[in-house]
């Protein structure tokens, strides 16, 4: 961690987690916000947008931490804000949102399984089951690889 904003963000996120219900914390996607703060921190030397985003994330998180009650509008606004930061990391820094491999794997698995089911097995259900199993393992492997490379948002 290079920036002191990052430490503030992580500290405030802990405060928010202690103060509010589990369901609200889940809706806020605080775990994602934490990961994003760390990514922005690591790019902040070379990317001025990441520096600005980090500053804004700090302001938003500090603001959130002083609230005693969360309403759905506040939760939604924070989520949308975090999503914007995630988009920047994805577009400018070639990072991948969590679970991307799995969703790609499922899509490929269904398409391939359907084709295999029609042509090779003459049974769509069998084809789909095999296709999905293969697709899911490919997806999980990609997710793991991205995670190890520190590329998951
Ligand atoms: Zn950046």
**All structural domains of the chain with their residue ranges:** 4-93, 100-148
What is the tens place of the pLDDT at every residue in 89-106? Answer: 999 999 999 999 999 999
Six-digit token string for 133:
């199993």
Mean pLDDT over each residue of the chain, to the nearest integer: 95
Q: For position 125, what pLDDT does the model report?
A: 96
With cut-offs at 50, 70 and 90, classify the pLDDT of residue 45.
Answer: very high
Rounded to a whole number, what is the largest CA-CA distance in the chain?
61
Q: For position 105, what pLDDT does the model report?
A: 97
Query: What is the Cα–Cα distance from 68 to 116, expressed in whole angstroms?
Result: 55
pTM of structure: 0.82
**Is the torsion defined by CA of 87, 93, 98, 100 positive or negative?**
positive
Q: How far, in Å, is the centroid of ligand 1 from the Cα of 83?
A: 14
Query: What is the Cα–Cα distance from 61 to 5, expressed in whole angstroms?
Result: 11
Q: How far, in Å, is the centroid of ligand 1 from the Cα of 91?
A: 9
Q: How far, in Å, is the centroid of ligand 1 from the Cα of 127?
A: 43
With cut-offs at 50, 70 and 90, classify the pLDDT of residue 52.
Answer: very high
Q: How far, in Å, is the centroid of ligand 1 from the Cα of 145?
A: 22
Q: How far, in Å, is the centroid of ligand 1 from the Cα of 39?
A: 9
Q: Is the pLDDT of residue 1 over 90?
A: no
pLDDT (average), residues 54-72:
96
Exposure string for 42-60, b = 16+ CB within 10 A, e = fewer: bbbeebeebbebbeebbeb
Six-digit token string for 50:
């990441």
Query: What is the Cα–Cα distance from 67 to 126, expressed in whole angstroms?
Result: 53
């Amino acid at each position: 961690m290079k920036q002191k904003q990052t430490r503030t963000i992580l500290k405030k996120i802990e405060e928010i987690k202690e103060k509010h219900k589990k369901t609200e914390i889940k809706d806020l996607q605080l775990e994602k916000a934490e990961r994003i703060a760390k990514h922005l921190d690591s790019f902040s030397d070379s990317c001025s947008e990441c520096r600005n985003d980090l500053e804004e994330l700090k302001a938003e998180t500090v603001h959130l931490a002083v609230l005693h009650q969360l309403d759905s509008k506040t939760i939604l606004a924070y989520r949308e804000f975090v999503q914007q930061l995630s988009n920047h990391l994805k577009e400018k820094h070639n990072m991948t949102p969590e679970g991307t491999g799995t969703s790609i794997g499922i899509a490929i698995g269904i398409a391939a399984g359907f084709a295999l089911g029609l042509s090779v097995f003459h049974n769509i259900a069998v084809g789909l089951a095999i296709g999905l199993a293969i697709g899911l393992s490919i997806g999980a492997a990609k997710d793991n690889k991205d995670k190890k490379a520190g590329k998951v948002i």
